[in-house]
A and B are shown apart, each in its own frame.
Chain A
Amino acid sequence: MEWLRVFGARLRGLFRKRYLDGDLDAELRAHVEMLVEENIRRGMSPVEARYAARREFGGVEQSKELHREQRSIPFLDALLEDLRFALRGLRNRPGFALVAILTLSLGIGSTTAVFSVVDRLLFRSLPYPHDQELVSFGDKAPFEANEFVLGPDYVDWKKGQTPFESVTSVVPGGADCDLTEKNPVRLKCALVESTFLPTFEIQPFLGRNFTSDEDRPHAPRVALVSYGLWRSRFASDRHLPGRTIALDGKPTVVVGVLPPQFEMPNLGHDDILLPAALDGSTARGPNARQIILRAFARLKPGITIKQAAAAMEPLFQRSLDYVPPQFQHEVSFRVRSLRDRQIQDARVASWVLLGAVLAVLLVACTNVANLLLARATSRVRELAVRTALGATRGRLARQSLTESLLLGLLGGLAGCWFAQFLLRFFVSIAPDGIPRLEQASVDVRVLLFTLGVSLLSGVLFGLASALGRPAPELLVGKETRATSRGMLRQVLVTVQMAVSLILLAGAGLLLRSLWKLETVSLGMDTKSVITAGINLAEYRYPDSAKQLAFFDQVEARLKRMPGTTALALSDSLPPSGGMQATFLSSLEIPGHTKFSAGTGGMIGYRFVTPGYFPALGIPILRGRGFSEEDRAPAKRPVILSEALAKKLFPNGEDPLGKSFRFGLQTEWHTIVGVAGDVKNNGLAAPPDPEFYIPWKNETAGYFRSGNLIVQSAIHSDAIAKWIRSETAAVDPTVPVTIEVMKARVGKLARQPRFTAVLLSLFAGMGVLLAGIGIYGVVGFLVVQQTREIGIRIALGATPRNVLRMVLSNMVRWTVAGAALGLLGAWLCSRLLESLLFEVRAHDPFLLCAALLVLLAVAFLAAWIPARKAIHVDPMIALRYE
């Protein structure tokens, strides 16, 4: 422990330097004085005595130096010395320090903010233990983004599989359910297998998981409650497990509470988990092929995803035998990591943003490196003096690195603050565009990353000036020029230009794509349209008669609303997906052969009231729209979309009056009209062909959920209030989700908008920083060459000659930078391809535009300082030295 005491003493010695130095001084002086007195007493003359004392004592300064070394920790001492020196240097040049720190904080702040977002998507582990072993697997079909498993296949695969430690399934979509005690609430329930928690290695916070016995049809109902619901609804009652609650009117025993950080594998936050209650017999029953499941599994240790897929392939092939032949070649088997399934297409966008922000950081570092080099050039004399006085090259390099590290850390500090601000901005423009964004925050992990980035950039931009060779011979001459460094600075500017051009080109592509996406023709008119989504609770509206009655009443009431120009009900809304669908191959028309050998792709259909077409401004191209009479049970009219009409009657036959049947239905529908095509698959994807069936006045349909569509001249807020009060008058417990159609459509472009806005922001930063860099370099050259310019002007050079002299350099680097940047943009835009909509990755027009912007900025940045050169007064310039 003695070394600890010594270390502590030395550490203390580090900080009370001035005091301790004074102390030592006084002590040594006293000693020498005593020696002198003693010598005088012995009979020496005062001068002699002092001389003898000095000799006896030895070197005072050496003694002090030894003492100092003993007193503290030499390495730390030197570091503190360097830091103090660096701080003083920054204080002496507040302008330089401010610009450097601001520049760095832009770069580091953006990097931090973007990292805190993409970290959750790309790097940070999911909230499940050993998350890298978790996979999702199943059939992959063209009509569905995520893999799925059919009921009987799931049972077979689960029994026959070898690569997985455990397998579980979730019923997709979840469902609304109602807690029907006093103060009923609408909740989100998910149906999962009893193996769900064990597979994801989740321990219930309270109570237990449900057993496989409870996960059977007709077993007594049990439930797991989410932590949030437990806190808000059950007042954190630790005795909740074992209690019976009323769920959708049925008694259900709560067996456990889920942990706080629990989330569903599809990122959902469901309130209640219920047993899926599928056993072997259900999953093989008559309707088993209509049971669709999401299957998840935990890989056995050492098994890769590829190996797992290969091991499952035989099972999949066997299941294919049950698939109708026309599907077989369109379905394949897929295993992918849970992370891949969760982030889907956000992966490319994440990497693009991370790359962009690192490019901005690079440009920022380059700028600061340039600033430091400029300063080093003006400090050449100081460095030469220090070298002449015996400072080693290593010592000077260390000093200079300390300074840049300090700058890096200060920039990082300011960057953290900037990152908070940026993050808030990100969240505000993309509330649901990017998964997990709402969780993003600057936490310890992000701060560590920022620290690393700050230090790394400190080294990066400090290296150029730290490695510079101090030249003591400069003390002799008057001229202080550093040509090799001038060269380095030009290279740095070239790099900046290239990087900025790549950023600009990328941003241009995304912006153009976004513009196309937002102005894409929807095939309908969303102006002054308001929609209201209604989802009836099963326990209050158990049968279709009651459901129909509710919607009829609401429709009748809203028809009386003033200002309404059109009113409609439909089961789904364009342009997002989610409509009912069938395969082209299931469509039948008398006298026609089958339409497709395979599935033929998806055909969507909707149930709509007659007001649907006028309310959304969808044109009826041929025939007629629906009328109120069409809602009578006996009538079976249908309206095709134009795309479907062309598909079914490719030879220009008249579809009107033809009969038509689809799916497993036996009734024939008569085609009465053809409507214009409407986007129905999101904004970017090409629309599926679709057809319309009247929303009927009969109870056979399934109308638990519906959408009201209101077109009105009155302000949306007033309409919203009206709709709410009218539905509340029918049943106050029914929740209504009101949306302005335009905003609904706008939401669909959120993720592309997020990526485009961010990339443009970063491109803007990059270009701005590059401009500042060029400005700095040209300005510095002009100052350095002032004497030369003065002589030239004195010798009769015209302003044009001077400009050419100053700018010719600039033109050279700009051309080099632009060429490099064009090459880089050409290569990098490939990576953006999957994010683009109706824009080619190698759009020459956009590349040219980006190049023009960059050249304009470069020219402007060079022009301002270059103009100064013209106005150099030869007299003053020559007197300069």
Chain B
Amino acid sequence: MAPPRGEVLQGTLDLIVLQTLQAMGPLHGYGIARRVQQVSEDLLKLNQGTLYPALLRLEQRGWISSKWGASENNRKAKYYSLTRAGRKQLLAETESWERMTALMARLLGDTEGG
């Protein structure tokens, strides 16, 4: 069964963005969108415009910070980078996510086995 191409849950998008910035270092919005698409192999259909309110939300919470800079093509672009608080948040969320998936895996495994 092919996995459904779902809408992105809000909390999930936050986690994806934080993880992307952790892995790639400072990145502009376009870069983040590209990276999300590559990693998810287009499984996640991201409406790129919705990325920006999410970025703003993360910034307001102090998890990422932004700065204007120049892109590879020498175009002016806003670069986002992870803050210390963001790193901590990512760690916490990853942990809780892992716990969740482990739980789900056990739960689903049990159902299939029984």
B-contacting residues of A (Cβ < 8 Å)?
Answer: 2, 5-6, 9-10, 23-24, 26-28, 30-31, 33-35, 37, 56-60, 62-63, 66-67, 69-71
Contacts and interface: CB of A to CB of B under 8 A. Distances in A.
16 contacts: A2-B61, A5-B62, A26-B78, A27-B29, A27-B78, A30-B75, A30-B78, A31-B30, A34-B30, A37-B73, A57-B49, A63-B49, A63-B50, A67-B56, A69-B53, A70-B57
Interface string B63-78: 0000000010101111
Contacts of A26: 76, 78
Contact of B53 (A10, A23, A31, A70): A70
Given A27-B78, A30-B76, A31-B28, 10 more contacts: A2-B62, A28-B52, A31-B29, A34-B30, A57-B47, A57-B48, A59-B49, A63-B49, A67-B56, A70-B60
A28 B57 CA distance: 16
Contacts of B30: 30-31, 34-35
Contact of A70 (B29, B56, B71, B73): B56
Interface residues of B, number: 22
A31 B61 contact: no
Nearest to A31: B30
Contacts of B29: 27, 31
Nearest to B54: A70
Contacts of B73: 34, 37
Nearest to B33: A31
Contacts of A10: 60
A30 B49 contact: no
Contact of A67 (B53, B61, B71): B53
Contacts of B59: 9
Contacts of A6: 60-61
Interface string B15-54: 0000000000000111001000000000000011110110
A71 B55 CA distance: 11
A859 B77 CA distance: 72
A62 B48 CA distance: 12
Given A27-B29, A27-B78, A31-B30, A58 B50 contact: yes
Contacts of A24: 52
A37 B47 CA distance: 18
A27 B75 CA distance: 11
Contacts of A37: 73
Contacts of A62: 49
A100 B29 CA distance: 52
B47 A58 contact: yes
A5 B89 CA distance: 15
Contact of A66 (B50, B76, B77): B50
A67 B52 contact: yes
A79 to B, nearest CB: 21
Nearest to B76: A30
Q: 9 closest pairs, A vs B, by CB?
A: A63-B49, A58-B49, A9-B60, A58-B47, A66-B53, A34-B30, A70-B53, A31-B30, A57-B48
B75 A34 contact: yes
B46 to A, nearest CB: 9
Nearest to A37: B73
Contacts of A30: 28, 30, 71, 75-78
Nearest to A34: B30
A27 B62 contact: no
Given A30-B76, A71-B56, A5 B61 contact: yes
A348 B90 CA distance: 73
Nearest to B47: A58
Contacts of B78: 23, 26-27, 30
Contacts of A60: 49
Contacts of A69: 53
A27 B53 contact: no
Contact of A56 (B48, B71, B76): B48
Contacts of B76: 26, 30
A580 to B, nearest CB: 85
Contact of B77 (A5, A27, A71): A27
Contacts of B48: 31, 35, 56-58
Interface centre among B30, B33, B77, B78 (most CB of A within 10 A): B30
Contacts of A35: 30, 48
Nearest to A33: B75
A24 B56 CA distance: 10
Interface centre among B47, B59, B73 (most CB of A within 10 A): B47
Interface in B67-105: 71, 73, 75-78
B15 to A, nearest CB: 17
Contacts of B75: 30, 33-34
A652 B61 CA distance: 104
A479 B73 CA distance: 61
B31 to A, nearest CB: 9
Interface centre among A5, A26, A59, A63 (most CB of B within 10 A): A63
Nearest to B78: A27
Nearest to A62: B49
A66 B10 CA distance: 14
A9 B47 CA distance: 25
A37 B72 CA distance: 12
A34 B71 contact: yes
A9 B63 CA distance: 13
A776 to B, nearest CB: 50
Nearest to B60: A9
Contacts of A23: 78
Contacts of A57: 47-49
A16 to B, nearest CB: 13
Contacts of B50: 58, 63, 66
B67 to A, nearest CB: 12
A37 B74 CA distance: 13
Contacts of B52: 24, 27-28, 63, 66-67
A739 to B, nearest CB: 75
Contacts of A66: 49-50, 52-53
B70 to A, nearest CB: 11
Nearest to A65: B53
A70 B10 CA distance: 14
Nearest to B29: A31
